[in-house]
Amino acid sequence: MASEKSEIELPFTEDMQLTKYMRIRAHSLQQNNAKPQDGEKVLKANEYIYRLDFSKQRLQFLWWNVHLKSAGKVVITGTSQHWTPDLTNLMNRQLLDPSAIFWMEAGQTEVECNEADAQEFGERLCELAKIRKVMYFVLTFLDGAEPSNVQCSVSFKA
């Protein structure tokens, strides 16, 4: 009997603890008038840490589901690091290329993206899901976008 493939949608969930941890690191550097380690990624005010929890390991990328309630831009950058708050700081070399960039101009109702980069990034997620149960992302909110007016998820065929 052939198994039927089903579609699953995985939502991006803000990791408030990790975002807080990285903001404390940035604040500590600023307070002590210190510089970050060479290559260290210091979280900016418009950047937040999100995660995807892979319920299945064998996935086929279908599409991104990004909804903006108003004009703005969101950049989704994956990390290659297996992360927990007690590990070393995130380094720039651990950020994956390409990022998926989604935007909506004032007066528009549909979100646009660079489809080639978004497709490549989505396919890369499938490869990483084979070896991970969780993956972390830096979401950068620009041009009026903010976490409260953006919903992001990714759909896969399991």
Per-residue three-class SS string for the chain: CCCCCCEEEEECEECHHHHHHHHHHHHHHHHCCCCCCCCECCCCCCEEEEEEECCCCCCEEEEEEEEECCCEEEEEEEECCCCCCCCCCCEHHHECCCCEEEEECCCCCCCEECHHHHHHHHHHHHHHHCCCCEEEEEEEEECCCCHHHEEEEEEEEC
Q: How much is the pLDDT for 56?
A: 87
Average of pLDDT values for 43-63? 92
Least confident of 2-16, 24-38, 90-104: 2-16
* pLDDT at residue 47, rounded to an integer: 96
> Which whole number is the average pLDDT over 26-37?
90
The predicted model scores a pTM of 0.89
Q: How confident is the model at residue 131 (pLDDT cuts 50, 70, 90)?
A: confident
**Per-domain residue ranges for the chain?**
7-30+40-157
Fold of 7-30+40-157: Jelly Rolls (2.60.120)
